[in-house]
């Protein structure tokens, strides 16, 4: 799998033939950051469709992963209720319509189990309503947006939602330009989650 933060870069990679032969899927990780062009942030539905068409045209699977911070671009001034607004804007629906896999980037809400559960359930339902065959993953993280997390918190998030998703995207970030608020790389927490979740 190769991950891209813009449709432009996906298109360029195919044009240059720079994808390894072993790549079977391409993920479009569009967010409100400098790595996704502003025009793509303002119209995620169009660029999800274009990216899916391009990826499918090359015989690969398409993974859509629009971030919840796109709400700040589509609904400027919204400070609270980002996850509810994401559902109202039907971002999940637009992402899932043409995708093979949809990753619900819910990890920023995982410290609030009620919010995480509600958001994942609503996004999954919205996605499946337009694409019953979609594979749905929920994002979880060892360091969501720089917040401290422990294995128990992540395992609780899994337990609360495992009946509505097909799996999880376990993000183990370290400080980087893509995650400027991340504090420390904690693969030990991820391993603990995997051990506990397997029981």
DSSP state of 76: T
Q: Round the average pLDDT of the chain to a whole number and report it.
A: 95
Q: Which residues pair with 169 in a beta bridge?
A: 139
From the list 162, 188, 195, 179, the residue with the least C-alpha distance to 69 is 179
CATH number, position 24: 3.20.20.70
Residue 39 has a CB neighbour count (10 Å cut-off) of 12
Query: What are the start-end ranges of the H helices in the chain?
Result: 7-16, 38-42, 44-57, 71-74, 82-88, 91-97, 113-130, 151-161, 187-197
**Three-state secondary-structure class, residue 131:** coil
Residue linked to tokens 């609270």: 80
**DSSP bridge pairs for 25:** 61
Rounded distance between C-alpha atoms, residue 67 and residue 198, angstroms: 28
Q: Give the model confidence (pLDDT) of 135-161 as tens digits.
A: 999 999 999 988 889 999 999 999 999
Total structural domains within the chain = 1
Average pLDDT of span 160-189: 92
Does the pLDDT of residue 70 top 80, yes or no? yes
Query: pTM for the complete prediction?
Result: 0.94
- Residue 55, CA atoms < 13 Å, CB-side half-sphere: 30
- Contact between 131 and 96 under an 8 Å Cβ cutoff? The reply is yes
What domain range includes position 6?
2-197
pLDDT at 171: 94
Q: Give me the mean pLDDT over the 30-56 stretch.
A: 98
- The Cα 4–Cα 12 span in angstroms is 11
Give yes or no for residue 48 having a pLDDT over 90. Answer: yes
Residue 191: phi and psi, rounded to 5, are -65, -40
| Across 27-31, 105-109, 171-175, least confident range | 171-175
- Return d(Cα 38, Cα 41) in angstroms, integer: 5
Which stretches of the chain are assigned E, i.e. beta strand?
2-4, 25-28, 61-64, 101-104, 135-141, 167-171
């Amino acid at each position: 799998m190769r991950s891209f933060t813009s449709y432009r870069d996906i298109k360029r990679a195919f044009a240059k033939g720079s994808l390894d032969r072993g790549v079977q899927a391409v993920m479009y990780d569009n967010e409100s950051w400098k790595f996704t062009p502003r025009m793509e942030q303002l119209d995620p539905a169009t660029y999800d469709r274009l990216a899916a068409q391009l990826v499918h045209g090359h015989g690969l699977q398409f993974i859509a992963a629009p971030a919840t911070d796109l709400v700040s671009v589509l609904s400027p001034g919204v400070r609270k209720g980002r996850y509810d607004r994401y559902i109202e804007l039907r971002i999940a629906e637009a992402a899932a319509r043409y995708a093979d896999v949809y990753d619900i980037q819910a990890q920023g809400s995982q410290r609030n189990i009620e919010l995480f559960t509600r958001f994942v359930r609503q996004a999954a339902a919205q996605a499946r309503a337009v694409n019953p065959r979609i594979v749905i993953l929920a994002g979880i993280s060892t360091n969501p947006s720089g917040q401290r997390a422990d294995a128990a918190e992540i395992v609780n998030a899994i337990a609360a939602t495992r009946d509505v998703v097909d799996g999880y995207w376990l993000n183990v970030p370290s400080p980087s330009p893509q995650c400027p608020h991340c504090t420390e790389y904690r693969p030990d927490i991820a391993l603990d989650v995997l051990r506990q979740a397997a029981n």
